[in-house]
Structure 1
C-alpha cells in the first residue's frame, strides 16, 4: 500500500479528504505517527487504525491539526475588534462562523469581544470542526492555565470561573456559541454571514483547494461581511473572490 491508497482508505473510512492537503507535509506527519508506535508499513497502520480506538483518535487528532489559543496574534484581534465595533453600529444581529475551531478558543474569543463592544447585539456564533472529539471538549469550555496565556486579567475575571487548576468559560459566553461538525473540503457552506473566521488551517491545503475554499467563503458572506484569516494566510488574489482588503488579514465582501 502506498500513500495514495492509504489516503483513499482514510476517505472511505473517516470521510476525511487527505488528498486536499499538501502531500509532503501530510505524509511526514503520518510517518511520524507510525514511528511512535513502531509501525513500518501503511498496511499494518491501516489494520491498527481499524481495530484500535485509541490509536484511531490519536491519528484523527494529529492529522486534523488541533493547534489553537485564545486571541491568537493579539494585535490582529485588536484590529478585528475595531473593525467589528464599527460594523456592528449598522447591525442589530450578527451571524458569525468560526471554521476549524478546534477546542473553542477562537469562537469564545470572538464572543468575549462582542460582549465588550456591542453588549446588546444578538450574536449567533457557529463554530465548526472536522474532529468530533475536539468539539466535545470545546463545548465543555474548560481550559488549562497554559491555554490562557493571551487572556487578560480583565477577561479572566469577567468571563471565566476558576475551579481548582482549570478555567471554565462563563455560561453567558458559552450560550453565544453553537458547535457543529463540518468538513471544509466536502461539506456545503451556509450563507448570510457577517463574519467568517478561519485561521491557520488553510495553509495546510493544496493551492487549488485553498482557492475553492476562499471562493466558498466569499459566497457565504453578506455584502460588506468580513473574512478574518491567519497571520500566514494573506489572500493575494482577493479581488477574484469579490473581496477587498480592510486590514492585513481581514477582507470585506463587496
Structure 2
C-alpha cells in the first residue's frame, strides 16, 4: 500500500496533514476503512472517495477521531470546574475559552453549562474548532442522543436541554455562548489571549514532534496563568519545557 501517495492526495483534497499522525496507527485505520468497503488498493479507495460523498464523510469522521460525550471523565471535569471557580472567574468575569478538536460540540457545551452554573449571565467567549466541517454542522445543531448525554445530571438536563422526539436539544442560551469554526491544529494559526484551552484525546494520535509543537502553540495562545485541560490519557510529562506548571493531574497552568 502506497501510504505516502495517499497522504499527499488527502492533503491536496482535504487539507489534512496525515504525516503528523503516528504511522502504525494511521496505516491500521486506513486499511480497516478500505476493508470495510471492499477495496484493495489506494487508487481504488481514492476513486471511491472522489465519487461517493457518504464514504468521504465516513473517511473524515474515522480519521479525525470524532469520539466524545458530555463531561467525558466526570471526575476530571469536576476538577476543571473547581479550577474555573477558584482561579479563573475571580480574576475575570468574561472568560475567553478555546475548545480545540471539539467534534460534535459536547465538550464546549459542557464548558458553557459549567460557566452558566458558576456565574449566570456572564459574557464569556467560547470558540470551538474542529478540522471536520461536517461534524461542525452537527455541533451547531446541538442535537444529542441519550447515550451522548449519559453524564449529564437530571437538573442540568431539565435546565439546559429540550426533548424533541428521540433527541435532546441544547438550550438556546447555552448554544449562543459557543462559536464554531473550522481549524486545523497542525496547519492553521492560533488565536491568542485565552484563559482556558480544552484539547482532549486528540494529540495522542500525533507523532512526538507535532505534539511538542502544539503544546508550544497552546502556551503562546494562553494568557499568563491560563489553563490547559487535556485528556485522561494525555499527561504531559515534560510540561516544564513548554512553560507550564502542573495545576492538577490533567490541567496545566501557563507560567
* TM bracket (short chain): over 0.9
Residue 82 of structure 1: how far off its partner (Å):
0.5
| Aligned counterpart, 1:42 | 42
Residue 92 of structure 1: how far off its partner (Å):
2.5
**2:223 alignment partner, SS class:** strand
Is 1:225 matched up with 2:253?
A: no
Is 1:29 matched up with 2:34?
A: no
Aligned equivalents of 1:13, 1:167: Cα separation in 2:
35
Aligned equivalents of 1:242, 1:93: Cα separation in 2:
25
Aligned equivalents of 2:244, 2:122: Cα separation in 1:
25
| Aligned counterpart, 2:93 | 92
Residue 56 of structure 1: how far off its partner (Å):
1.0
Structure 2 residues without counterparts, runs of 5 or longer: none
The aligned runs of 1:106-185 (5 Å cut-off) are: 106-185=107-186
Superposed CA deviations along residues 114-147 of structure 1, whole A, max 9, x for unmatched, are 0011114221000000000000000000001111
Aligned equivalents of 2:142, 2:248: Cα separation in 1:
30
| Aligned counterpart, 1:19 | 19
**2:229 alignment partner, SS class:** strand
Equivalent pairs counted in the alignment come to 254
**2:124 alignment partner, SS class:** strand
Residue 37 of structure 1: how far off its partner (Å):
1.1
Superposition CA RMSD, Å: 0.8
The TM-score, its normalising length taken from structure 2, stands at 0.98
Aligned equivalents of 1:89, 1:54: Cα separation in 2:
47
